[in-house]
Structure 1
Amino acid sequence: MRYLPTLLPLLLCLPHLAQATDAEEWRYSVQRGDTLWSIARQHLRSIAHVPALQQKNVIRDPYVLTPGSVVRIPTQWLRQHTGKATVTDLIGSASLGDGKQQTALVNGNSYPLQAGHTISTGPNSQLKLLLEDGSLVSIGANARFTIQQAVHYPSTGANATWLNIERGSVDSHVSKNPLMPNRHTIQTPSAITAVRGTIFRVNVDGDSRSATEVSEGLVEVSAAGHSEHIGGGFGSVTRRGEVPGRSTALPPPPELGQLDGTQAFSPAILHWPTVAGVSRYPLQLLRTAPERRIVGDTTATTNRSYPALDNGEYRLLARSELDNGLQGRVASQNFRVHAFPTPPLVVSPAPDARLRGLDVRFVVSGDAGSRYRLRLARDAAFSQPRLHDFSRQDNRLTLPEGGHWFWQIARLDASQQAGPYSQTYRLQADTGWWRASHYRGTPLSARPYPLANARYQLRLTQLDQPQAPLQLDGDTPRWQLAERLFPGRYRVSYRVTTPDGYLAQEPDDILLID
């Protein structure tokens, strides 16, 4: 593991410090010109420790030390100060309090970690703290923990921290200090977790159960007079009043790489392969642009999720969870939602229409101010598309030449940006009057969703006549009405459902028939 950049200046300015072999002791390598008195003035809390230091190391003359020899110094004698932490990333809200007053934490600010103070996070929140030793602590939503101890040793750059977690989850990336091991202890209502240089996670579920999951290094979990050593890739569950559970292999993370990078539908369609032996998938959705915020923390019982999302950039974070509650490493995948404005309902031209000439009229849903973008090409891949913007009042187009054409339509938003396109339609132009398409009734076509066993429901309600709503249903979003629709204004409602719980209700629209 690479040493964190914050340790590099320390390594350069103190090359003579030797690595400690015990957490309660620092082994100092003597340099030319050192004396016990100079060592005490530079590194100890008081020069009054010199006689005890001389006795502990069996040194005859405190003024005469052999360069390269080792002086053993108890850590409690080392110069130290109350540790502090810098907020490197805060989404949502978090506060630091002493029981009487709460201070809202702010990104980029540093705060002292006083013993007895508490740190709390709000719902849909995430907090990352950088400690002075380079360790990183990530705290999930609705968490609360008390600082039992936070000490920093400036001579070595090491920390000794003790956190008492009441609820929530804490991910810790404890840096490896080559000069003196960092001590990081987390106490839960059911167990104590102690580490020296590792990556691990503790999740507290109420006051009766805690889970420890280790990604790298070695963790010791103690409870009820027993200890369990947990290595990288393993975890342990401890229940209040019981000994720690046996070390169990953690499940692999979900494979999110198959998710579509652009989601053209809302709810978004998020599927991933199942993970063997996994019963649940804890999920977190983070909106990354245009603003950063957590939009959901859920647990899926299957390998899919259907969150209703606005247009924007997102990151999905997912873990695999075993029946005993242990979770594996987090997997993440970025994606973009481009679902609005939704494509219009298409009345004309009908799918696979044949035109008598080159003139085509587009009749689609939308109010008087709606504008659209037509994408037209000779091939279904739209390798050389022609783009044409039009409105409901100016909806006629003359094709450049006859033959087969493929087309898609999208609605423009207020800034004239196109939403997702409809499915691909085909038409044939300039085929002769005897081959032109003639429809006695009214064809209607909405966009399909890429979902198995989807059901499509279309509802047309005439606004200016007291007619019963027309309700259409099918396993494809295409309908051919036997009769023509009466002229007038219709409210269009479009709904898509699947047996596994997907439900999309697209925004109501207006269809004008003249």
Structure 2
Amino acid sequence: MKSSRGILCSAVLLIALLAPQCFAEDWLYTVRKGDTIWGLSHKYLKDPLKFQEIQKYNNVKLDRQLPPGVTLKFPMEYLKFAPAEVSVSAINGEAYFVRRGVRATLNKAHKLVLGDILVTNKNSSVALLFADGSELLLGESSELIFDVQTKWGETGMVDSRVRLMQGSAEGRVEHLRGPGANFEVQTPSAVATVRGTEFRVRLDKEDDGIVFNEVNEGTVSVQLHENKESVKEGYGLITSAKLPLAKPKELLAEPKLVNPRSKYLGHPVTLTWQPIDEAKSYQVELFKDKALTTLVHKAQVSSHQVSLPEVNLGEYSLRLRAIDKDGLQGLNTIHHFTISPVPRSPQLKAFDEQYIAGQPLEFSWEESVSATQYRWQLAKDRQFRNIVTQQELKNNTHQLPEGLPAGTYYWRVAAGNIHGFGQYSTLKRFDVKRPKPPELSLSDKTITTEDTLTVDWQAVPLAEQYLWQVSSDETFSNIVSEGKSQTSHLVLEELPESELYIRVAAHGPYNQGRFSETKSVVVEPEGNGKTAFGIGSILLFILIL
């Protein structure tokens, strides 16, 4: 007898767990043209023959004369109900589910039902679609148990209750109508009841007893033990199984992107936003769709800039939010954009940093896959506002045979095809300097009018010839002699008696009129009177003797 009673109690308990809760409220239906209680009872009731009770319950005398717009009440316990299924709308990475102890790899054809356990691997996510149109994105390294999945016939009411055992989940829940509609997420420390909103639930990686609840839109009711808190739009709440229920905290504002583009010309794609003072870091998520269900990249960065990984070309959505010191993630900024099918930025080949004015230059870079043309740019500034020259080329080299004037320059290259040009390469800087003026050396510092003076200097790069000048004054306003030389060697003869000044200038590209330092030489008369006097004195001495 005791055994029979135990089995009976167990059966009753099982039925109570599987069946929907009984509600004191009624399901309300607005009458449309042509509706009858008889027809509505066949459509919505478990027992259509209870139509007479529904008619009495609503004080309706003439069933076939129901005016449109009238509201009818249906007791919840009369309505049809059946197990509901959850569809898989997107899978990123790898996930599996466990049903009655059997593990299987998840694919989009599977339907998840009451009792199933869904698990995602690292760097993976699964987008779920519930029977009422609500959506849930299960994050990486997460585990979700489907506790209740009940559909109330064709009323549109769905009772969905899940348990998040680890990881994270975020949802967009349809506005729930009727007393039988429910969407509930239970965690180790609290229960979040949602009625038409956008929310996130995330378990702490180090302690799954700590749960982060964040609301982007609508309101979520969070219950911890016997206490409840209403978390409104723009607020978050951290719950802990070991601590009393705290008060909601305002979330950080959505980051504002700086000059966001709707179209990026190939890689790299870099996004920048205005920093938020209270932000400890930022959560960056890249999706392959506008619905934000296919997650392809996720990262946390401490700066207010991120360079996205090299993903396939096409349309993407970026979701960005700030994270405060307590770990609560703020409001979302969402940006939709396209990465156009243009070639990647070329890789520039090695290039010297120093050149001489007029020296021929050759620029080269690695060929880009799918590139049919290149755009080469040369500028005087890093921002390329002052462009010196620009060329569109078929080959991956470009030459400047005549070189450049002295100055600092920057160059870069973009690869293009029929879709346009992609991002420019990293720039390279180089300096062009004028050659040093000649450095003179004289064979003597003092000579006579009968002597020759040899002048030498170091050859100047790219010099075509040299202009030399001899002057009787340092300002070279009184030129004694001048000429041109094809070599760096000069012999001067028959110089006048004086202190003379000599200089040389190299003549070549971008190098005219730059004279060397001045050298001086003293030219004395032949013998300077000393030699004649000496000989005369000797002859006179001989005669006296």
What interval of TM-score do these two structures reach, taking the shorter chain for normalisation? 0.5 to 0.7
Q: How does 1:409-428 map to 2 (within 5 A)?
A: 409-410=412-413, 420-423=424-427
Question: 2: distance between equivalents of 1:154 and 1:384?
Answer: 73
Query: Do 1:253 and 1:331's aligned partners in 2 also have CA atoms closer than 8 Å?
Result: yes
TM-score (norm 2): 0.59
Deviation at 1:168, TM superposition (A): 1.6
Which residue of the partner structure matches residue 475 of structure 2?
A: none
Match of 1:343 in 2: 348
Change (3 A) 1:112 1:409: closer
Q: Which residue of the partner structure matches residue 26 of structure 2? A: 25
Partner of 1:204: 203
List aligned pairs for 1:155-194, cutoff 5 A: 155-176=154-175, 182-194=181-193
Match of 1:44 in 2: 45
Contact 1:214–1:234, Cα closer than 8 Å, also in 2: yes
RMSD of aligned residue pairs (Cα, Å)? 4.9
* Distance change >3 Å, CA 344–CA 98, structure 1 → 2: same
SS at match of 1:42: helix
Determine the structure 1 residue equivalent to 2:362.
362
Question: CA separation in 2, counterparts of 1:383 and 1:158?
Answer: 69
Quick one: structure 1 residues 438 and 265, their matched pair in 2 at CA, closer, same or farther if it must change by over 3 Å? farther
Whole-angstrom distance in 1 between the partners of 2:422 and 2:218: 50
Deviation at 1:25, TM superposition (A): 2.7
Of residues 329, 332, 335 in structure 1, which corresponds to 2:331? 329
Q: Bigger shift: 137-146 or 295-304?
A: 295-304
Aligned to 2:149: 150
Distance 1:153 1:311, change over 3 A: closer
Identify the range of structure 1 (84-93 vs 302-311) with the bigger mean alpha-carbon deviation: 302-311
Give the SS at the match of 1:375: strand
Q: What is the match of residue 235 of structure 1? A: 236
Q: How does 1:458-469 map to 2 (within 5 A)?
A: none
How far is 1:229 from its partner? 0.8
Q: Displacement, 1:315? A: 5.5
Q: 1:319 aligns with which of 307, 312, 321?
A: 321
Q: Which residue of 1 aligns with 2:99?
A: 98
Give the aligned length: 402
Asked if the contact 2:90–2:294 (Cα under 8 Å) also holds between the matched residues in 1, the reply is no
What one-letter code is carried by the residue in structure 2 that aligns with 1:228? Answer: E
Measure, in 2, the Cα distance between the counterparts of 1:60 and 1:283.
Answer: 58
Q: Verify the 8 A CA contact 1:279 1:302 in the aligned structure 2.
A: no
Cα gap change, 1:122/1:31 in structure 2, threshold over 3 Å: closer, same or farther? same
CA contact (8 A) 1:250 1:327 kept: yes
Contact kept, 8 Å, 2:218 with 2:232, in 1: the verdict is yes
Partner of 1:252: 253
Q: Report if aligned partners of 2:161, 2:184 keep a CA contact under 8 Å in 1.
A: yes
| Higher fraction of helix | 2
1:220 Cα shift? 0.8
Larger radius of gyration: 2
1:85 Cα deviation after fit:
2.9
CA deviations over 1:90-142 (Å, ceiling 9, x no partner): 221223321523343334x4x43321101122211222222232212122111
Secondary structure of 2:167 counterpart: strand
SS of 1:147's partner is: strand
1:408 equivalent in alignment to 2:408: no
Deviation digits for residues 459-488 of structure 1 (CA, Å, limit 9, x no counterpart): xxxxxxxxxxxxxxxxxxxxxxxxxxxxxx
Q: How does 1:48-59 map to 2 (within 5 A)?
A: 53=54, 57=57, 59=59
CA distance in 2: counterparts of 1:31 and 1:316, whole angstroms: 44
Consecutive unaligned residues of structure 2, counting only runs of 5 or more, are: 1-22, 439-458, 463-545
What does residue 138 of structure 1 align with? Answer: 137
Q: Note the alpha carbon deviations across 1:237-291, whole angstroms, 9 max, x for none.
A: 110144432121111122233578869998x866533213222323335578xxx
Aligned equivalents of 2:182 and 2:280: distance in 1? 35
TM-superposed CA distance for 1:222, in Å, is 0.5
| 1:412 shift after superposition | 7.7
Distance 1:168 1:372 in 2: 48
- Displacement of 1:355 after TM fit? 1.0
Counterpart of 1:173 in structure 2: which amino acid? R
**For the residues of structure 2 that align with 1:163 and 1:293, how far apart are their CA atoms?**
21
Gaps of 5+ in 1: 1-21, 440-514
Q: Distance in 2 between matches of 1:437 and 1:391?
A: 32
CA distance in 1, matches of 2:265, 2:422: 15
* TM-superposed deviation, 1:186: 0.6
Equivalent residue for 1:386? 391
Kindly, what percent of the aligned residue pairs are identical? 20
CA contact (8 A) 1:320 1:327 kept: yes
* 2:357–2:406 CA contact under 8 A, matched in 1: no
Aligned residue in 1 for 2:215: 214
Amino acid aligned to 2:327: G
How big is the shift at 1:190? 0.4
Task: For 1:202 and 1:317, locate their aligned partners in 2 and report how far apart those are by CA, in whole Å.
Answer: 17
What displacement does 1:61 show?
Answer: 7.1
Looking at structure 2, the residues matched to 88 and 307 of structure 1 have their Cα atoms a distance apart, in angstroms, of 25
How far apart, CA to CA, are the structure 1 residues paired with 2:426 and 2:208? 52
Distance 1:391 1:323 in 2: 50
TM-score, with length taken from structure 1: 0.62
> Does the Cα contact within 8 Å between 1:283 and 1:299 map onto a contact in 2?
yes
